[in-house]
Amino acid sequence: MAKVKATIPGLLKAKKEGQKIRMVTAYDYPTAAIIDQTEIELILVGDSLGMVMLGYEGTVPVTMDEMIHHTKAVVRGARNTFIVGDLPFMSYNVSVEQAVTNAGRIMKEGGADCVKLEGGLDFADTVRAIVRAGIPVMGHIGLTPQTASALGGFKVQGKDMESARQIYEDALALEEAGAFALVLEAIPAPLAKIITEKLHIPTIGIGAGVHCDGQVLVLHDLLGLFDRFVPKFVKRYAKMDDSIREALNTYAAEVASQVFPGPEHSFSGNEDELRKYLKV
Ligand code: KIV
């Protein structure tokens, strides 16, 4: 049976019915096409692409043009999966007008179904304006990698009562501003549980425990394709780096030993006739 693309009302219904929402990142056509053949409802074209695809130290250098380039490729590969396009650092932070314009680009040029942006209470007006423009917004609070430097690094957030309250209030403000879902990153599981119970919109956790309405992981972490930095909350479901290395070493050895290409990978012809004709 063909996969039915998720919708925002469908995601709200999933929360009400206690069905977990599954999201994973993707940044290119082939992996998007594979995800499209699975039960995973949402693809996030995350700005994590800066680290796992482009080799930057963090997500800060990622540009709007890079996000649009990768979002377009994912959309071409995954026609039946709901696509979330990330707004990169400084593409929505300067003014509400800038935020609406760039959210529009992710939708119109990239082809995403919604945008995601990092930030809580301080970005409630920005979220409200983007939603008013007709663009669905997924919020992202807790550990917000774009501002990791201001947070003192890639650290668990909301560990003390005061910062837990701040994150709780961020969640309420974003729901009130019209966000249709929230990513909760790297916060204690009990705080995520309380926020999830309080909100009407779904929470999607990454390092936020099992009580969120859904989960998201970075594809390259999940598949074992990125080991420069592996947070505690990552579970590796495969060791694709080993498989890729093994395949490439076998290819290299077979080329060296002339096992590849074999006759089945070659086009036949009559060497003698060819030599006679070419006089060689
Ligand atoms: O960019 C990204 O991949 C993200 C996830 C970590 C949620 O924002």
Ligand 1 center to 3 CA (angstroms): 24
Annotation marks residue 118 as catalytic: no
- CATH code, 8-238: 3.20.20.60
Residue 175 has pLDDT above 80, yes or no: yes
Protein residues whose CB sits closer than 6 Å to any atom of ligand 1? 25, 44, 46-48, 86, 140, 183, 185, 206, 216, 218
How much is the average pLDDT of 129-155? Answer: 95
Q: Whose alpha carbon is nearest atom 4 of ligand 1? A: 46
Whole-angstrom distance, CA of residue 248 vs CA of residue 246: 6
From residue 100, alpha-carbon distances to 85, 107, 116, 240 in Å are 14, 11, 12, 38
The model's confidence at residue 153, banded by pLDDT at 50, 70 and 90, is: confident
The atom of ligand 1 lying closest to the CA of 218 is 3
Residue 208 has pLDDT above 90, yes or no: yes
pTM listed for this prediction:
0.96
Segments of the chain assigned E as strands: 21-25, 42-45, 82-86, 114-118, 137-142, 181-185, 203-206, 214-217
How much is the average pLDDT of 120-132? Answer: 98
Domain boundaries, the chain: 8-238, 243-278
How much is the average pLDDT of 233-249? Answer: 97
Active-site residue (options: 17, 185, 246, 254): 185
**One-letter identity of residue 152:** G
Q: What is the pLDDT, as a whole number, of residue 1? A: 72
